[in-house]
Amino acid sequence: MDNPLLSVRNLTLDIPVGGGTLHAVRGIDFDLKRGETLCIVGESGSGKSLTSLALMGLLGKTIKRSADEMTFDGIDLTRANARTMRSLRGARMAMIFQEPMTSLNPAYTIGDQLTEALLLHKPVGKEAARARAIELLEKVGITAAASRLSQYPHQLSGGLRQRVMIAMALMCEPELIIADEPTTALDVTIQAQILRLLYDLGREMNMAMILITHDLGVVARVADKVAVMYAGELVETGSATEVFNTPSHPYTRGLLRCIPLPGKTERGSTLGTIPGIVPSLIGDVTGCAFRTRCPHATLECRGDIPRHTSGGHAFRCIHADGKLHAEEATT
Amino acid sequence: MTPATATSPKPETAAPVLELRGVTKTYRVKQGLFGKARPLTAVNDVSISLPRGEVLGLVGESGCGKSTLAKILLGLESPTAGQVLVDGQEIGAQDRMTLARRIQPIFQDPYSSLNPRKSIFDIVSLPLRVHRIGDAASWDKEVRKILDIVGLPARVMNTFPSQMSGGQRQRVAIARALIMKPEIVICDEPTSALDVSVQSQILNLLGDLRREFGLTYLFISHDLAVVEHLATRVAVMYLGRIVEEAEVGGLFDHARHPYTQALLKSVLTPEPGLGVPDTQLGMAYPNPIDPPSGCHFHPRCPKATEFCKATAPRALPTPLGHVECHLHDPTGPMFIGKEG
């Protein structure tokens, strides 16, 4: 029962670029059980979106993917051929993309787009597919669902389109949903509603979910597990409580200091920053990629970085406590 | 309606640098190819007064009229009714050039708001050249000075926007806005396209510049945590109306309007274990062409009654602002009493 639905070991993505190789994702590991939500948090360019595309088998041809293990419910995704991937995508694993404005086809009606995957993967008739589409549109909170089926994407607002995307991902009752910044383009009130909806549906259907975001507030509220990604590596992983209550990697703490906390951060005070920029991942990357921006960096950071674990909480740093206590002492 | 003017801590700054009196903007929108044009009121009788050096945070959902209001202030749209006054002078009476010296914008997307074919020097010095201030030698000096102020090295002058990161581009946009030494800066979602670590740098910079140059900001954002951090006053907009306006502490600690309360509830702070809040708002943002009767907010309001459906609320003064809600009208049937 406790077998993970998805297991990833040492997933590496290399992109050949003029004059070298860009190591976009550098050996990441994670497991996901049914009903669990994993949030991958990181800044642009950290490799989080590429990771999700790699799982779905949607990478561009030039990107080289390698992994010691990448299994979905016992199916080896590293060896799966195009046909196997097609039978999984949309049916058993589905993706919700970031841009509701561009990821729907403007030339087809909402109804056509919603029922396409179901008609393709399941032995159902058009009427049954239509009924299922209406049921799901209602579930995601769209009023007058039946009349929406004949509408085109341009007739819907951004919030509605994003809900259509979610309904579409749910059509075949997938076991895994990957949502890449599903609420970034939306208003805060709609964001809360959509996240609640995803969370409730995940529980109800016992779906596993990977949520990719840069919003730490979203992560804290919906994640069972958190993975903090920096420069193609998972620098800290653990339960949401562990990562937010004892953020052990200096980068995790840096991120948390950057956002104003209502009621905690003094209004108008200077916010924390992370100086410097993300290093280039072209060519060999050695040691800790965060050392150029880290206040605790030493010469040792250029060498091998040990991984500290306690229970489910893990982080990579040469300092045994990630210098958490040193920072606590000064603040 | 007369929202109480903010009582500023310093008496010499009491005169508002920016004042809106009953500003209304109505567009005529055609529905369908042969449909009749119908009025759409994007901004509906808005009155705000903003003392010098303050930051007014303007929040609301997309489509509520925030950006139309910003366009009116920049002189890109003229109001259908009402007046906008800068330093007591109506802006309709001033020409675009004069207005541009006093009010400057910073836009959301630093990727599309900078001309990719112009060097950073050209972009930042353009306002000086348009306004024919100084000569080539002084432009160079001024650009160096302003780049230093926004935290960019002088060597970026000869680079192009494509060679810069998002945070650097937003610094260029800020430099371009500030080189004319404006009094008011309209910031339209200035950090929402940026990563969190870059966002905090830009917010710190905006805060420092305000203190150093006594700037006044209109800060439009959908991120309430950011607004709470930077703003001194906050106005909440719904379907073209300012439904609540107050000093920042008052608004965040004692939100009066049910819509403000729902907005505050939907802020996701990074605290694990709290789950996703239920805002109790209906899903549907109403169509501004066909606004609901009575109080525009009633179809989504958890506290709405038949009275709200029929009667539009009036603006009621609160200690440091105003609110438009029947729950706070002591002469109305729904008054919930004085609260703390």
Domains of chain B and any CATH numbers: 11-294 (3.40.50.300)
Give contacts of B269 with chain A, Cβ < 8 Å: 217, 220, 261-263
pLDDT digits (tens, 9 = 90+) for B118-176: 999 999 999 999 999 889 999 999 999 999 999 999 999 999 999 888 889 999 999 99
Q: Does B95 touch chain A (CB under 8 A)?
A: no
Which residue among B200, B223, B269 places its CB closest to the CB of A271?
Answer: B200
Give contacts of B199 with chain A, Cβ < 8 Å: 258-259
Give contacts of A155 with chain B, Cβ < 8 Å: none
Give contacts of B219 with chain A, Cβ < 8 Å: none
pLDDT of residue A9: 96
Query: What is the spatial distance between Cα A94 and Cα A88, in angstroms, rounded to a whole number?
Result: 8
Q: Does B137 touch chain A (CB under 8 A)?
A: no
Query: What is the spatial distance between Cα A231 and Cα B135, in angstroms, rounded to a whole number?
Result: 45
Place of tokens 């050392």: A291
Q: Does B263 touch chain A (CB under 8 A)?
A: yes
pLDDT digits (tens, 9 = 90+) for B42-79: 999 999 989 999 999 999 888 888 889 999 988 888 89
> How many helices and strands (H and E) does chain B possess?
10, 12
For residues B329-337, give the mean pLDDT: 87
Q: Tell me whether residues A245 and B272 touch, CB distance under 8 A.
A: yes
- How many angstroms separate the first and last alpha carbons of chain A? 45
Give contacts of A241 with chain B, Cβ < 8 Å: 272-273
Domains of chain A and any CATH numbers: 33-59+81-92+175-330 (3.40.50.300), 102-171 (no CATH)
Instruction: Please name which of A37, A30, A21 lies closest in space to residue A55, comparing C-alpha atoms.
Output: A30
- Angle at the Cα of A142 (from A137 to A146), degrees rounded to 5? 60
Check whether B8 has a pLDDT greater than 60: no
Q: Which amino acid is at B111?
A: Y
Q: Tell me whether residues B285 and A157 touch, CB distance under 8 A.
A: yes
Rg value, chain B, Cα: 21
Q: Does B251 touch chain A (CB under 8 A)?
A: no
Q: Does B248 touch chain A (CB under 8 A)?
A: yes
Give contacts of B271 with chain A, Cβ < 8 Å: 220-221, 244
* Structure token digits, residue A99: 């841009």
* Structure token digits, residue A132: 């299922």
Contact A153, A110 (CB under 8 A): yes
Q: Tell me whether residues B203 and A240 touch, CB distance under 8 A.
A: no
Q: Tell me whether residues A262 and B269 touch, CB distance under 8 A.
A: yes
Query: What is the spatial distance between Cα A233 and Cα A227, in angstroms, rounded to a whole number?
Result: 10
Q: Tell me whether residues B61 and A189 touch, CB distance under 8 A.
A: yes
Phi and psi angles of residue A291, each rounded to the nearest 5 degrees, phi first: -60, -25
Q: Which residues lie across from A22 on neighbouring strands?
A: A15, A282
Q: pTM for this one?
A: 0.88
Q: Does B281 touch chain A (CB under 8 A)?
A: yes
- The alpha carbon of residue A87 is apart from the nearest alpha carbon of chain B, in Å, by 33
pLDDT of residue B197: 86
Which residue among B61, B195, B279 places its CB closest to the CB of A43?
Answer: B195
Give the residue from chain A lying closest to B198, CA to CA: A273
> What contacts B138, CB < 8 A, 6 or more positions away?
B128
Place of tokens 């709200």: B308
Give contacts of B281 with chain A, Cβ < 8 Å: 189, 193
Contact A301, A318 (CB under 8 A): yes
Query: What is the spatial distance between Cα B250 and Cα B319, in angstroms, rounded to a whole number?
Result: 9
Give contacts of A262 with chain B, Cβ < 8 Å: 224-225, 228, 252, 267, 269
pLDDT digits (tens, 9 = 90+) for B249-286: 999 999 999 999 999 988 898 988 888 888 878 766 78
pLDDT of residue B283: 62
Check whether B16 has a pLDDT greater than 70: yes
- The alpha carbon of residue B21 is apart from the nearest alpha carbon of chain A, in Å, by 28
Q: Does B32 touch chain A (CB under 8 A)?
A: no
pLDDT of residue A329: 62
Which residue among A141, A196, A273 places its CB closest to the CB of B197?
Answer: A273
Q: Which amino acid is at A1?
A: M
Check whether B308 has a pLDDT greater than 80: yes
Query: What is the spatial distance between Cα B247 and Cα B252, in angstroms, rounded to a whole number?
Result: 9
Q: Does B267 touch chain A (CB under 8 A)?
A: yes
Q: Tell me whether residues A191 and B268 touch, CB distance under 8 A.
A: yes
- The alpha carbon of residue B199 is apart from the nearest alpha carbon of chain A, in Å, by 8
For residues B105-113, give the mean pLDDT: 87
Q: Does B228 touch chain A (CB under 8 A)?
A: yes
Show pLDDT as tens, one digit a residue, over chain A (331 residues).
568 999 999 999 999 988 889 999 999 999 999 999 999 999 888 999 899 999 999 998 899 999 999 999 999 999 999 999 999 998 999 999 877 678 899 999 999 999 999 999 999 999 999 999 999 998 887 878 888 999 999 888 777 888 899 899 989 989 999 999 888 777 888 788 888 888 888 888 899 999 999 899 999 999 999 999 999 999 999 999 999 999 999 999 999 999 998 878 888 899 999 988 888 888 888 899 999 999 999 999 999 999 999 989 999 999 988 888 877 765 5
Phi and psi angles of residue B43, each rounded to the nearest 5 degrees, phi first: -130, 125
The band of B7, judged by pLDDT with boundaries at 50, 70 and 90, is: very low
Q: Tell me whether residues A189 and B268 touch, CB distance under 8 A.
A: no
Check whether B11 has a pLDDT greater than 50: no
Q: Tell me whether residues A187 and B222 touch, CB distance under 8 A.
A: yes
Place of tokens 């040469």: A318
Give contacts of B248 with chain A, Cβ < 8 Å: 267
Check whether B340 has a pLDDT greater than 70: no
Check whether B84 has a pLDDT greater than 70: yes
Phi and psi angles of residue A241, each rounded to the nearest 5 degrees, phi first: -65, -45
Check whether B2 has a pLDDT greater than 60: no
What DSSP line would sit under A103-156, residue for residue? SS-TTS-HHHHHHHHHHHHS---HHHHHHHHHHHHHHTT-SSHHHHTT--GGGS
Query: What is the spatial distance between Cα B84 and Cα B236, in angstroms, rounded to a whole number?
Result: 19
Q: Tell me whether residues A143 and B284 touch, CB distance under 8 A.
A: yes
The band of B231, judged by pLDDT with boundaries at 50, 70 and 90, is: very high
Among B108, B164, B200, the strongest candidate for a mutation testing the A interface, having the largest count of A CBs within 10 A, is B200
- The alpha carbon of residue B95 is apart from the nearest alpha carbon of chain A, in Å, by 35
Buried b (16+ CB within 10 A) or exposed e, A237-263: bbbbbbbbebbbbbbbbbbbbbbbbbe
